[in-house]
Chain A
Amino acid sequence: MLESKDLLGIKELSADDIYHVLETSDGFMDVLRRDIKKVPPLRGKTVVSLFYEPSTRTRTSFTLAAKRLSADIVNFSLSSSSIVKGESIQDTALTIQALGADFVIIRHASSGVPHSLSRLLNISVINAGDGANEHPTQALLDLFTIRAHKKKIEGLNVAIIGDIAHSRVAKSNIYALTKLGANVKVICPPTLMPVEIGQLGVEVHHSIEDGIKKADVVMTLRLQLERQSKGFLPSLKEYFNLYGLTSERLKLAKKDAIVMHPGPMNRGVEIASDVADGPQSVILEQVTNGIAVRMAVLYLLSGVKE
């Protein structure tokens, strides 16, 4: 069990908490390998997902996780709810609580929304991505995937390449990896580097060749295509020339390095197709592992004993 009723971010977790989630996820991985992939611990519990931003994979992953734990899950989505009628997020959240939900899974474009809901509600709040702040379950599933391949996290060289400034995935991964003792290198153009990121205990690189050297893990991030129009970059082509993950560049990493991407990918922008589909890629494993990790999170927050 976790100490908090909520999962707001990795920032709020201890290394022990993170290991606890990973170990619990192991058990659920076994469940997912069975023919009948359903277990009963959340029977009678209700999960509501409240997504203010479009999402396919995270939402589907949470939905499957809840269903496999035998919970009832209801999706509140932007187009079908009173959000479009101008209801405040606080009122929407209180309504969901009044409907009898036990969990609310929230995604919002504004950082800090899960935190304010956490103060407002008695039920568990799970952050499924808030602004440029955090996406904790993505980091947990990334750690789970790394651990599955590398057996440990401590001492690994992890290169994170891409739009770090706007990436909640990068932030959560930086917090998680540094808490567990990995050496994190962030690589991107200065226009996309968060200010004073070095204070988080990461190495800052503007050259992919420098940053990727001897990496055990190479993680690329999605580049929002609008970054070009907003003046962060001269062109997507130039971005690919400078920062695209190609098989040439991947050779600078360790031979057994794994390649990760949180999806959805822009092939030919941040990653070359032969790398995305190549033997070192674990991108689809990440997706599968996501369900087990989200099952673990729901399970641990529910306080249900085995």
Chain B
Amino acid sequence: MKILIKTGYVIDPSQNIDGVKDVLINGKKIQGIFPKGKSPSADKTIDVAGCIVIPGLVDMHTHLREPGYEYKETIKTGTMAAVKGGFTTVCCMPNTDPINDTISVTEFILKKADEEGSCAVFPIAAITKGENGEAMTELEALIKAGSIAFSDDGKPVMNSLIMRRALEYSKIFGVPVISHCEDLKLSEGGVMNEGINSTLLGLKGIPKAAEEVMVARDISLSELTGGKLHIAHVSTEGSVRLIREAKTRGVNVTAETCPHYFSLTDDSLKGYDTNFKVNPPLRTDKDVSAIKQGIKDGTIDVIATDHAPHHYDDKNREFDTAAFGISGLETAFALGLKLVEDRVVDLNTLVAKMTFAPSKIMGISKGTLKKDADADIAIIDTKKRFTVDAGKFLSKGKNSAFNGWKLNGVVLKTIAMGKVYEWE
């Protein structure tokens, strides 16, 4: 079936398209982008005047929780939340139970995604067996099975030698090694940013240095080995500075941040609300400014969600023992749009950082509206205002840090592999 998406404002940074155009889909593929009114005929026409039409968003950092933590999220509910948020591709982190460190887990995820998923799912496999930081997983087998990158996310690879080996060995395949930068000794027992607010709340702090020493280490190791390093969830000013400096020297490093790191500070924790407990922790105004600057100047390549859904019971407990994480798929784009409203970046740059840039890093042919690409499209009314109601999330994780926020940017329709999902 051919569907024509008519008179939307099309933005596709992968081919520098920016203007009112018509997009024609043929089955699961994009047939082409045409000047307004110049498209061949279609079986169905959707008029989206006043909306933006962009490649379906790509999240390179998602926790789908399945297998093992189906009470928090499943591949089914996580991908439903994804399409609701305008995402058509999610790359899921391996810290499930069992951990994605063997081909059977990769195969399971892909099979489940095929049967029950609403959008494309690309597994990220563990760097080390059991994410225990000691022995490398079988990269070749995992890639063959369908994993596309490697990370021990949730944990760092504390052993510098193992990290060196992973960055070296991964060069055979050209896949990224995604680093969760946290020195576990420096962060031990910490539950929030270390600073005046941790002093005021009497909570154990995680110093910025816990992140930065590992960013510095991994940059050195990438420089040593030439391995493809991607820094996950950048939260501090110092990390931005280190990455900027490394990029200037030509180190093979890319980086992502998440909406909460440019939208919130640790002031939010003052009522001990565990929905603001996340790792790395929310930092300070200075860090938020530096991260915005990093997004603006290109130091930070990607805006990812680090979607970390949790069950109510995991959050509704003592702050010290509550789970870390924010359910982020359904608010990410609207929070990104605030960067545009605040003139940090233009809309094209925002779209690039949520589509083309992550696809490029992950080596997948997503995040584009090029001819013959998968028909993955998000149609968003950027002027429409809504109030975040976490209770109505499609994700099982209602643990939003933005509940009650009024934001612009409603995803009206998401098309994933030609299948149309619509709301309202």
Contact = CB atoms under 8 A, between A and B. Distances in A.
Say whether A and B bind each other: yes
A112 B273 CA distance: 9
Interface size class of A (residues with CB under 8 A): 20 to 34
A99 B321 CA distance: 27
Given A112-B319, A116-B272, A195-B196, A132 B203 contact: yes
Contact of A131 (B194, B196, B202, B316): B202
A55 B347 CA distance: 58
A115 B271 contact: yes
A76 B195 CA distance: 35
Interface in A188-238: 194-197, 199-200
Interface in A95-145: 108-113, 115-116, 130-134
A88 interface: yes
Interface in A164-181: 168, 171
A107 B316 CA distance: 18
A115 B199 contact: no
A11 interface: yes
Interface string B295-326: 00000000000000000010011111100000
Contacts of A89: 317-318
Contacts of B196: 195-196, 199
Contacts of B316: 88, 90
A168 B202 CA distance: 8
Nearest to B272: A112
B201 interface: yes
B204 interface: yes
B200 interface: yes
Contact of A111 (B202, B271, B313, B317): B202
Nearest to B193: A195
B327 interface: no
B7 interface: no
B318 A113 contact: yes
A103 to B, nearest CB: 21
B272 A132 contact: no
B205 interface: yes
Main SS at interface, chain B: loop
B202 A195 contact: no
Contacts of A116: 272, 318-319
Interface size class of B (residues with CB under 8 A): 20 to 34
A131 B203 contact: yes
A197 B199 contact: yes
Interface in B167-216: 194-196, 198-205
B205 A133 contact: no
A171 B194 contact: no
A112 B203 CA distance: 8
Contacts of B271: 115
Contacts of A90: 316-317
A111 B200 contact: no
A108 B203 CA distance: 13
A194 B198 CA distance: 9
A194 B321 contact: no
Contacts of B317: 88-90
A130 B200 CA distance: 12
A133 B201 contact: yes
Of B203, B204, B313, B319, most A-chain CB atoms within 10 Å: B319
Contacts of B318: 89, 108, 110, 112-113, 116
Contact of B201 (A108, A109, A111): A111
Contacts of A108: 318
Given A88-B317, A90-B316, A113-B318, A195 B201 contact: no
Contacts of A197: 199
Contacts of A112: 201-203, 272, 318-319
Contacts of A115: 271-272
Contacts of A88: 313, 316-317
B202 A132 contact: yes
A192 to B, nearest CB: 13
B303 to A, nearest CB: 30
Nearest to B316: A90
B396 to A, nearest CB: 20
B321 A195 contact: no
A199 to B, nearest CB: 5
B357 to A, nearest CB: 35
Nearest to B318: A110
Interface in A68-112: 88-90, 108-112
Of A11, A133, A134, most B-chain CB atoms within 10 Å: A133
Contacts of B321: 110
Contact of B199 (A110, A113, A130, A195): A195
Contact of B202 (A133, A196, A199, A200): A133
Given A110-B320, A110-B321, A131-B320, A195 B195 contact: yes
A125 to B, nearest CB: 13
A196 B201 contact: no
Nearest to B269: A112
A285 B318 CA distance: 34
A92 to B, nearest CB: 12
Interface string B259-274: 0000000000001100
Nearest to B204: A132
A90 B316 CA distance: 8
A125 B237 CA distance: 40
Contacts of B320: 109-111, 131
A10 B300 CA distance: 42
A110 B319 contact: yes
B201 A194 contact: no
A130 B202 CA distance: 8
Interface string A144-178: 00000000000000000000000010010000000
Given A110-B321, A131-B202, 5 more contacts: A89-B318, A90-B317, A110-B319, A112-B201, A171-B202
12 contacts: A90-B317, A111-B202, A115-B271, A171-B202, A194-B198, A195-B194, A195-B195, A195-B198, A196-B195, A197-B199, A199-B196, A200-B199
Interface of B: 194-196, 198-205, 271-272, 313, 316-321
Q: Which 7 A-B pairs have the closest CB atoms?
A: A133-B202, A112-B272, A110-B318, A111-B202, A110-B320, A132-B202, A196-B196
